Amino acid sequence: MAGSEAVPSEHVLEWAQKDKRRFLHAVYRVGDLDRTIKFYTECLGMQLLRKRDIPEEKYSNAFLGFGPEESHFVVELTYNYGVDSYDIGTGFGHFAIATQDVYKLVEDIRAKGGNITREPGPVKGGTTVIAFVKDPDGYVFELIQRGPTPEPLCQVMLRVGDLDKSIKFYEKALGMKLLRKKDNPEHKYTIAMLGYADEYETTVLELTYNYGVTEYTKGNAYAQVAISTDDVYKSAEVVNLVTQELGGKITRQPGPIPGINTKITSFLDPDGWKTVLVDNEDFLKELEKKE
């Protein structure tokens, strides 16, 4: 952008801290929309918020979550016509759902035929009660026992090869706060929780580093997380600066999406995980149009 060379980098970086950011949705591909909708609504307790079909591009979307998209993090499922399975890879970890009684939820899911891959009980090396369930495509959902929360869809867990570098990237490029970091030497991993507010009130990104593991496969199933911004152009300037220091790259320059006009920019972090920044006002306009 003209004149941007003259702006000292610390001023450019400040924008990410001042901006109005929120986790909007996680985007991923599924092999059968109705099968996933049935599982998420009947077993996981989500609501179907909206659906859209884009026949020209041969795909459909369904949005599900625990509350309206205006205020909640949701999942955006993509069904590509004719594609009935995907490779999830080894890098994607899980989505998490907070519930007041993991034992009860697991019992209900099992009664409906769901695939429980880890029985409820205290997390290894800790006290929080967790369980794991696999959805029909093989995506893992961690069920976490905690008190009432405004945002039950509370984590996206991704594995990374250099935790400190990733923490710096999400702090600087995305303006997230490091909310918690916990090393678990007995089980040879470290986790970091990053986000924009308290991890018990909003969705956070959980990054996991397994000792000695620097590379994972990404498959073709999980796509990205979308986060809101008041200015995609300023945000892309920040990301651009940070990628020069820490790696990653902008994959879509800031600007309106043809046809929809919502302004976005997208980029990869140092491990290749994708984030899309979406203009706040444009996003709300899109939601108004949906009915």
Ligand X SMILES: N[C@@H](CCC(=O)N[C@@H](CS)C(=O)NCC(=O)O)C(=O)O
The residues that touch ligand X, with contacts defined as CB under 6 A, are 93, 118, 123-124, 159, 187, 189, 191, 208, 210
Which amino acid is it at 82? G
Extract the tokens encoding 26: 């996680």
Q: CB of residue 118 vs ligand X: minimum separation in angstroms?
A: 5
Q: CB of residue 286 vs ligand X: minimum separation in angstroms?
A: 34
Q: CB of residue 83 vs ligand X: minimum separation in angstroms?
A: 27
**Catalytic: 142?**
yes
Active-site entry in 142, 151, 199, 237: 142
Q: CB of residue 289 vs ligand X: minimum separation in angstroms?
A: 39
Q: What residues are labeled active site?
A: 142
